[in-house]
């Protein structure tokens, strides 16, 4: 498995996670052949000494869903793990995503809706009744386009909090699900793309010395093929 490295220092690396690759393997995913963690252990074995759960998630300070592609930060030391973890907790890391959603969505907006688990399932919802946490997502429409007789919108999205499936849940809650999303978009939406079209295009933060780090990841080919003219 080839995972591109976007940035590398003695403290951390930033990778461009491909769609279809798990960040780490959980109990019910043991049959998965590869993950970001297995790649890290091969190429950066010192991550075995980094993290809160060094057995299952060495080096992992944040994650992307299996089908989500894009920038992922990986600390290479425990000190930098603690530093990045605090930045994420304090919302001092700016994450930018590109996504394609169903329907016409113009202008910009802010979705401020707590997310919780739906009782008896692993699904999240703005109407969930368990483990409810605040969640805020901002979006800006970049393009509305028609393809194969249907309308879609290309959005730039900024999650201000870091809840599981946050962007996918929030976009579905305003009736513009991420296309290809099998869990939150419904059967018709699920077949519009080979995977949910969500890509982390950039991450920006300041180092302990105050230097600004801005890391970008270009849109993958499968995403670009969904846009007009492809």
Q: Which domains does the chain have, with CATH numbers?
A: 1-90 (3.30.2350.10), 93-203 (3.30.2350.10)
d(CA 39, CA 175): 37
Nearest to 70 by CA among 189, 219, 187, 207: 219
Q: Is residue 94 predicted with pLDDT exceeding 60?
A: yes
- Please give the average per-residue pLDDT across 3-19, as a whole number: 97
Is 65 among the catalytic positions? yes
Token code pair at residue 172: 């579905």
Average pLDDT score over the chain = 94
- Please give the average per-residue pLDDT across 50-59, as a whole number: 94
Strands 124-125 and 5-8: unpaired
- Please give the average per-residue pLDDT across 170-181, as a whole number: 97
Residue whose structure tokens are 């043991």 = 30
Q: Is residue 99 predicted with pLDDT exceeding 60?
A: yes
99 or 33, higher pLDDT: 99
Which tens digits make up the pLDDT trace of 24-47? 886 555 555 689 999 999 999 999
pLDDT band at 1 (very low <50, low <70, confident <90, very high): confident
Q: Is residue 158 predicted with pLDDT exceeding 60?
A: yes
Q: What does the pLDDT read at residue 37?
A: 96
Residue whose structure tokens are 């769609």 = 19
Q: Is residue 78 predicted with pLDDT exceeding 80?
A: yes
Considering 65, 90, 112, 216, which one is annotated as catalytic?
65
Task: Sort 87 into a burial class: Cβ within 10 Å, 0-12 / 13-18 / 19+.
Answer: middle
């Amino acid at each position: 498995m080839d995972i591109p490295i976007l940035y590398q220092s003695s403290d951390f690396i930033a990778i461009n996670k491909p769609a279809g690759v798990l960040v780490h393997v959980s109990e019910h995913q043991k049959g998965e052949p590869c993950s970001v963690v297995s790649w890290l252990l091969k190429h950066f074995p010192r991550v075995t000494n980094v993290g809160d759960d060094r057995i299952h998630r060495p080096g992992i300070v944040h994650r992307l869903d299996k089908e989500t592609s894009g920038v992922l930060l990986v600390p290479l030391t425990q000190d930098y793990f603690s530093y990045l973890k605090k930045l994420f907790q304090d919302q001092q890391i700016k994450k930018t995503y590109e996504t394609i959603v169903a329907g016409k969505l113009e202008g910009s907006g802010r979705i401020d809706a707590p997310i919780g688990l739906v009782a008896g399932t692993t699904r999240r919802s703005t109407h969930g009744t368990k483990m409810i946490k605040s969640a805020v997502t901002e979006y800006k429409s970049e393009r509305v386009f028609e393809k194969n007789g249907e309308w879609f919108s290309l959005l730039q999205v900024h999650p201000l909090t870091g809840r599981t499936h946050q962007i996918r849940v929030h976009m579905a809650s305003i009736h513009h699900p991420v296309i290809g999303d099998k869990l939150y978009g419904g059967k018709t939406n699920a077949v519009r793309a080979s995977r949910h079209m969500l890509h982390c295009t950039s991450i920006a933060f300041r180092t302990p010395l105050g230097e600004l780090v801005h890391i970008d990841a270009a849109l993958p080919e499968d995403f670009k093929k969904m846009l007009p003219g492809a």
